[in-house]
Amino acid sequence: MSRIGVFTCHCGENIGATVDCVKVAEMCKDIPGVVHSVEYKYMCSDPGQRQMQEAIKEHKLDGVVVAACSPRMHEPTFRRAAGDAGINPYMCEMANLREHCSWVHEKGEATTQKAADLIRVLVEKVKHNEPLHPIKVPVTRTAMVIGGGVGGIQVALDIANGGHKVVLVEKSPSIGGHMSQLSETFPTLDCSQCILTPRMVEAAQHPNITLMTYSEVEKVDGFIGNFKVTVRKKARKLDEHLCTGCGLCIQKCPNKKISDEFNEGLGTRTAIYVPFPQAVPNKPVIDTLNCTYYKTGKCKVCEKMCPTNAIRFDQEDELVTLDIGAIVLATGFKLMKTDAFPEYGYGKHKDIIDGMQFERLASASGPTSGVMKRPSDGRSPETVVFIACSGSRDRAKGVPYCSKICCMYTAKHAMLYKHKVHSGKAYVFYMDIRAAGKDYDEFVRRAIEEDEVKYIRGRVSKIYEEDGKLIVMGADTLMGGEPVVIKADMVVLATAVQSNDRSEELAQTLHVSYDSYGFFAEAHPKLRPVETNTAGIFLAGACQAPRDIPETVAQASGAAAKVVGLFSNEELTREPIVAVVNRQAAPVYSTCVGCFICQGACPYQAIEQEEIMARSGEVIMTLARINPGLCQGCGTCVATCRTKAIDLQGFSNEQLYAELMTL
Amino acid sequence: MRVLRVPCTGRIDYMMVLKALHKGADGVIVSGCHPNDCHYTSGNYHARRRWMVFKKMMEVMGVDMRRITFSWVSAAEGARWAQLVNEVTDQVRALGPYTEFRQVIGAGIE
Amino acid sequence: MRIGYYPGCSLLGSSREFDESARAVLKALGVELVEVPDWNCCGASSAHILNHELSIALPARILALAEQAGISEILAPCAACSNRLLSAQQELEKHPELLPGIEKAIGMPYKGSVKIVNILEVLDRLKVLISVLTTAPFRKKVASYYGCLLVRPPRVVNFDRPEDPQSMDLLLKAVGATPVEWPFKTECCGAAFSVTRTDIVAKLSGKLVQDAVKRGADAIVVACPMCHSNLDLRRAEINEYLQKEYAVPAMFITQVVGLALGLDPKALGLHRHLVPVAFAETAGVQS
């Protein structure tokens, strides 16, 4: 027989003004199973909680109903109090008299009656409650960071400095990401490489960090604290341990005319290459698509040249499986290509370039060694037009969102150009200048006022080529839409920031949500910005939305703090609100018939197949089993199960039907 | 109006809806997060799928579908929720007590 | 293939050669044209500025007549006509409440079942046949000029790329021509100012002629009567404005295809142009 206590709260005036709480407490005494019923002004206050705890001990209560506000507000409070008083916390339930009754009804007899009815329902539920125990899962204290740009490097360094192991996975041959391609950074104009490369070296040399460059995540199994990640180490075609990075192979490679990705197609590289001289690790890879040996079976010059005999033409990709406790996604972004714009010539004009190409033209390590030369004929451009919002905030042809970084880097580009070509003219077409950030607006003002960059508010409708010039036809909307025609030598499009190639594929591999543009979705846009909906997987940087460097680094440190916080526990405690497939003694074993419809319904891949074996080792039946580490307790499988073999702890069929039958 | 708390619309076994009508409820609202915005990733899709089948079946069986309302209301839409509840309670009140349900289920499911 | 045909006013007047060449080419390709009986003005260039209902009623009557004649698809070679027909059809689809009033005005029922196509769409469908039947490839450098109404507004016409259309270029390639890469495919020719403000036409169309010649075009190819009259009829004004004698002919796409198919230049109405199509007589033998 149950011994249930009911504690009715006035919530000050919130409940007390419309519900006669004294009468409710009296009425509750008549509910079968209730042995104690009292009311109090503020149940959640310290004296209120103490009163409940004393009653639990004094009346030997085995279940408690607190009739007060929403369980969202105070369920943890009262469960903790009940637990401290010696009963199982999950034997405490809340009846929501505030939102469900007093706030929505007038004062009166019917309202008081409804309050008592609500309590009656919850008393019936508590009668069917089972003591539940928090689930403990072990934690593997190794983090994986996917993406070796500035965000990924920061996450890795912060976690590593926190004393935990980190595996940093990067798909290209070197870490560094987009930031290593930049010339200078806004709003300080400090050299991007100079501030980034020391971090790259630090990450490479950190005893807690394992670099896995030229590698991609192939498969992720498991759950928070216990992931199993399979990484494909793409074949560099050389023995990394033997290679000293002397670069002789690169010098001697006869195939020198390959379009260079690091220089955004503005330069060339060899078939065996490192992306850039400061690459980390400084070990080349062979581009098998372009290598003469892989195409014709002849050459092998690099092998002959290599002083340490490190070249391995027969090297294969390698699959490595790692135990990982937490994953941070920092996979970055890509820029929309210039060929997406029919009105700007579909990318057929060599002198219409995107922002990243301009970075390479302006960079001291770029194909022109930082001298302004336009790509078509190498002449110094005398007039350059910069077009912001190329594809951003454009529902018709591009993406509806603001790419966030373009206003700033366009101002920076215009300044860099003016600093390099003093007599040159720089024009910027813009829709709005969005320069919110520390020292950002000042930076844009500096471009306009000190460097005399001409800002024209308006869009460009067309660019065409005539006599070696690019004719830019735009409008000045601040001059009443006056048409503007500029004969330019080079045009730089600030093209939209987009999610990286294959980001949706990766999201599906990791079971994290993503938006319609392929950006990964945070768990809550304001209060959980670095977490995903999947426990143990975090986000940093532009893989979530367009971000600049300071934001990326800040978010990276935030994600690292989450991981370090997670790793501060030996075990993880989780709410026991999870689904369970029933088990019985042989020969029934379970009412589960092994149809596994639940497996398709589960959003968390928490349902596994368990083979029931006889002593002989023969499989008698295959049953569903729910991994409590993965289950989030939605209960979809319970409703889907045709034999009612699954039940959700805390919201069991018995509990819910008991509530229903009391309505 | 009485509220029965479940973690997710995906948890709802439509038998519960019938049980509620059987126990004397004159109308039922099934409500949860909007599709594509499920707190539990995709539970509401399963709820919706089952609802389509359930609705067809109930129509065939002669259950008055004005008694059962299925609606998406997110946790951030307090005003919308209040409006929905007012509309449904007004409608159910206008329909009066659902005495026919006992006739529909005949011998009953008890 | 049987297809409805709505010539419109231009093809009976200033652009008779467009009508003649379209009929000749489509006949050669085995297409039967069924002219809409008792057709009326489409209302182009003036109706939609003056009276919204009239601008819908006029094309609606044409479409309703086509429905009555059992036509499921209607070719309106004039870009302005096809644009008006499409606009009216979409307006009635979007605002069905207008329908009773329109039906009353035109005195007949309107279902909206007729599909409207332009000349490039029809020729594009027959492209393979055209390239097979080409006996005298049109080996010229051409500037394909689409003008504004064929591709705009994209929501209404839903045809080709509005900024950089390709269909005519591909068609011209199919008959052996080399389209030049030029930026003015959809620039304004001066359109309806052909009569009232020839000075504006001279300036705007002058830019087109000048650039086409600069990029080496032997001919400017069009698919709109208005474009053609501005480039051909107003050449004297253009040349005066530019202070240079430009002799590059403006031809309809149907005339180019017709020549490639080996049809008689006279049947294609080439003799009607003010700017003589100098190479027309010899086009057949040049290949």
DSSP string spanning B64-103? -GGGEEEEE--TT-HHHHHHHHHHHHHHHHHH---THHHH
Angstroms from A484 CA to nearest CA on chain B: 45
pLDDT of residue A603: 83
Q: What percent of chain A has pLDDT over 70?
A: 100
Query: Would you identify the CATH topology of the domain C136-270?
Result: Rossmann fold (3.40.50)
Residue ranges of A 347-406 with Cβ closer than 8 A to chain C: 348
Q: Could you tell me if residue B110 is inside a domain?
A: no
In contact, C37 and C65? CB cutoff 8 Å: yes
Band of the pLDDT at A639, cuts 50, 70, 90? very high
- CA–CA distance, A324 with A307 (Å, rounded to integer): 38
Chain A (443-482) residues lying within 8 Å, Cβ to Cβ, of chain C: 462, 464-466, 471
Cβ pair C57, C91 in contact under 8 A: no
Measured between beta carbons, the chain C residues lying within 8 angstroms of A346 are: 164
Query: Could you tell me if C240 lies within 8 Å of chain A, comparing CB atoms?
Result: no
Q: Collect all residues of chain C within an 8 Å Cβ-Cβ radius of residue A348.
A: 181
The domain at C2-119 falls in which architecture? Up-down Bundle (1.20)
SS3 C41: coil
Q: Quick one: average pLDDT of A187-203?
A: 95
For chain B, the domain total comes to 1
Tokens of C183: 């930026």
Task: Give the domain extent around B48.
Answer: 9-102
Convert the pLDDT of each residue in A582-591 to its tens digit.
988 888 889 9
Nearest-neighbour CA in chain C from A466: distance (Å): 9
pLDDT tens for residues A200-241? Answer: 999 999 999 999 999 999 998 878 898 999 999 999 999 999
**pLDDT band at residue C270, thresholds of 50, 70 and 90?**
very high
What's the pLDDT at A581?
Answer: 93
Residue C188's identity, in one-letter code, is C
Q: What is the mean pLDDT of residues A10-38?
A: 93
Whether the per-residue pLDDT at A508 is higher than 90: the answer is no
The C-alpha angle B94, B98, B100, rounded to 5 degrees, equals: 130
State chain A's mean pLDDT as an integer. Answer: 93
Percent of chain A with pLDDT over 90: 83
Residues of chain A contacting B39 with CB distance shorter than 8 Å: 634
Q: Which amino acid, B70?
A: F
Tokens standing for residue B61: 């069986």
Distance CA A485, CA A501 (A): 36
- B48 touching A, CB under 8 A? no
Mean pLDDT of A17-41: 94
For residues A521-529, average pLDDT: 86
Among candidate residues B32, B57, B54, the one with its CA nearest the CA of residue B43: B32
Closest CA to A16 of A51, A55, A42, A35: A42
Tokens of A365: 């390590």
Q: Is the ipTM of this complex over 0.85?
A: yes
Q: What is the pLDDT of residue A515?
A: 87
- A343, A348, A465 member nearest C163 (Cβ): A343
Q: Where in chain C is the domain with CATH 1.20.1050.140?
A: 2-119
Query: Searching chain A, which residue's CA lies closest to the CA of residue C215?
Result: A466
Helix (H) or strand (E) holding A336: none
User: What are A542-576's pLDDT values in tens digits?
Assistant: 999 999 999 999 999 999 999 999 999 888 888 89
Return the ∠ at Cα A242 (arms to A237 and A247), rounded to 5°: 70
* Model pLDDT for residues C188-216, shown as the tens digit of each residue: 999 888 888 999 999 999 999 999 999 99
Distance of CA C74 to the CA centre of its chain: 14
**Residue A572: its pLDDT value, please?**
85
Residue of B41, B45, B48, B54 to mutate when probing chain A, most A C-beta within 10 A: B41
Q: Which CATH number fits domain A4-128: 3.90.550, 3.30.530, 1.10.287, 3.40.50?
A: 3.40.50
Decide if B1 is inside a domain: no
B64 domain-assigned? yes
State the span(s) of chain C assigned CATH 3.40.50.11810. Answer: 136-270
Share of chain C above pLDDT 70, in %: 97
| Dist CA A581 CA A232 (whole Å) | 36
What is the arithmetic mean of pLDDT over A113-127? 94
Q: Which two tokens stand for residue B71?
A: 């609606």
**Residue B4 sits at the chain A interface (C-beta within 8 Å):** yes
Q: Which residue of A has its CA nearest to C210?
A: A466
User: To the nearest whole number, what is the mean pLDDT of chain C?
Assistant: 92
Model confidence at B105, pLDDT cuts 50, 70, 90, reads low
pLDDT at A327 over 80: yes
Query: Closest chain A residue to B44 measured between Cα atoms?
Result: A636
Check residue C66 and give its pLDDT. Answer: 95
Domain presence at residue B2: no
Beta strands, E only, A355-477: 383-390, 425-430, 454-457, 460-466, 469-476
The beta-carbon neighbor of A462 closest among C181, C182, C183 is C183
Which CATH fold topology does A142-234+317-332+500-567 show?
Answer: FAD/NAD(P)-binding domain (3.50.50)
pLDDT at A605 over 70: yes
In angstroms, rounded to a whole number, what is the distance separating the alpha carbons of residues B67 and B89? 10
Residue of B nearest to A657 (CA): B16
Q: Which residues pair with A648 in a beta bridge?
A: A579
Report in angstroms the alpha-carbon separations of A535 from A179, A528, C171, C190: 29, 12, 57, 63
Enumerate the CATH 3.30.70.20 domain ranges in chain A, comma separated: 579-661
Q: For residue range C142-155, list pLDDT tens digits in order.
A: 999 999 999 989 88
B19 → chain A, closest CA residue: A660
Residues of C in contact with A471 (CB under 8 A): 183
What's the rounded mean pLDDT across residues A331-353? 90
- Closest residue in chain B to residue A103, using alpha carbons only: B82
Judged against a pLDDT cut of 90, whether residue C6 lies above it is answered with yes
Would you tell me how many other CB atoms lie within 10 Å of the CB of residue C45? 12
CATH number, domain A579-661: 3.30.70.20
List of chain A residues whose C-beta atoms are within 8 Å of the C-beta of residue B43: 603, 634-636
Quote the pLDDT of residue A50.
94
Q: Measured in Å, how far apart are chain C's first and last C-alpha atoms?
A: 30
Task: Tell whether domain A336-498 is in CATH 3.20.20.70.
Answer: no
pLDDT in tens, B7-17: 999 999 998 99
Cite the residue boundaries of each domain of chain A with CATH code 3.50.50.60: 142-234+317-332+500-567, 336-498
User: Closest to B42 (Cβ–Cβ): which among A71, A603, A657?
Assistant: A603
Q: Quote the Cα angle for A88-A92-A97, to 5°.
A: 170
Nearest-Å Rg of the Cα atoms of chain C is: 19
User: What is the pLDDT averaged over residues B31-47?
Assistant: 81
* In-domain check, residue B23: yes
Amino acid letter at A236?
Answer: R
Cα separation of C45 and C54, whole Å? 12
| Cβ–Cβ contact B16 with A under 8 A | yes
The reply to whether residue B3 touches residue A651, judged by beta carbons under 8 angstroms, is no
Contact B10 A659 (CB under 8 A): no
CA dihedral of C51, C52, C57, C59, whole degrees rounded to 10: 100
Contact A466 C211 (CB under 8 A): yes
For A132-141, write each residue's pLDDT tens digit: 998 888 899 9
